[in-house]
């Protein structure tokens, strides 16, 4: 069953006429008849009483129409909500970050984000870790990135990236692995 067939069925019921429904949808009357036959075959029931000269739905047709209208309505609502979601992928994000993250880890992530969401402007402000916490708590920024975040009441902390800490030293340093 296709959504277009249900829409077309609703148009047939609304206009009570195959020809007008065909004109409304830019198709032939024959295509409307074929769609109705396909729906009837799929549901295994007659939907329209063709024995009379006046358009009339069968009891199965009434049920099909009721549910088809709801499905078409929900599909329209879904399309509208999806468009709204795409439209909300615009705007400005104010981001506070400590220097170490902002200068070293953030640039490749930010490049990818800007490719994925070209309509979103990200404004990055740099500061010390305490300043990042304060900017988030004061609602001066939308998001903050900080190394060693402090657990503060009302502050939600989600890990951004887990990095391995490594020791870097001169080859002659006592902690350097010996060249054996």
pLDDT in tens, 140-150: 999 999 887 77
* Mean model confidence pLDDT for the chain: 88
The highest-level CATH class for domain 3-86 is mainly alpha
Q: Is the dihedral of CA 79, 71, 6, 12 positive or negative?
A: negative
CATH 1.10.10.10 occupies which residues in the chain? Answer: 3-86
The CB-side HSE value for 112 (13 A sphere, CA atoms) comes to 4
Average pLDDT estimate for 141-169: 77
Q: Which H helix or E strand runs over 126?
A: strand 120-127
Least confident range of 26-40, 57-71, 153-167: 153-167
The CA–CA distances, whole Å, from 69 to 34, 66, 88, 128, 176 equal: 20, 5, 28, 58, 74
The reported pTM is 0.51
pLDDT at residue 9, as a whole number? 96
CATH assignment of 90-180, given 3.20.20.100, 3.40.50.2300, 3.40.190.10, 3.20.20.70? 3.40.190.10
């Amino acid at each position: 069953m296709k959504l277009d067939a249900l829409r077309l069925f609703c148009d047939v019921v609304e206009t009570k006429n195959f020809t007008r429904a065909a004109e409304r949808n830019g198709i032939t009357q024959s295509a409307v008849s074929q769609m109705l036959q396909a729906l009837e075959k799929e549901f295994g029931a007659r939907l329209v009483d063709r024995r009379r000269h006046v358009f009339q739905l069968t009891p199965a047709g009434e049920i099909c129409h009721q549910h088809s209208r709801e499905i078409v309505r929900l599909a329209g609502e879904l399309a509208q909500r999806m468009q709204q979601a795409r439209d909300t992928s615009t705007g400005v994000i104010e981001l506070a970050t400590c220097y170490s993250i902002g200068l070293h880890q953030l640039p490749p992530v930010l490049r990818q984000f800007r490719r994925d969401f070209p309509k979103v402007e990200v404004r990055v402000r740099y500061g010390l870790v305490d300043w990042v916490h304060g900017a988030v708590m004061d609602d001066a920024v939308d998001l903050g990135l900080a190394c060693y975040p402090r657990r503060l009441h009302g502050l939600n902390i989600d890990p951004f990236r887990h990095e391995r800490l490594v020791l870097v030293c001169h080859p002659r340093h006592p902690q350097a692995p010996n060249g054996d």
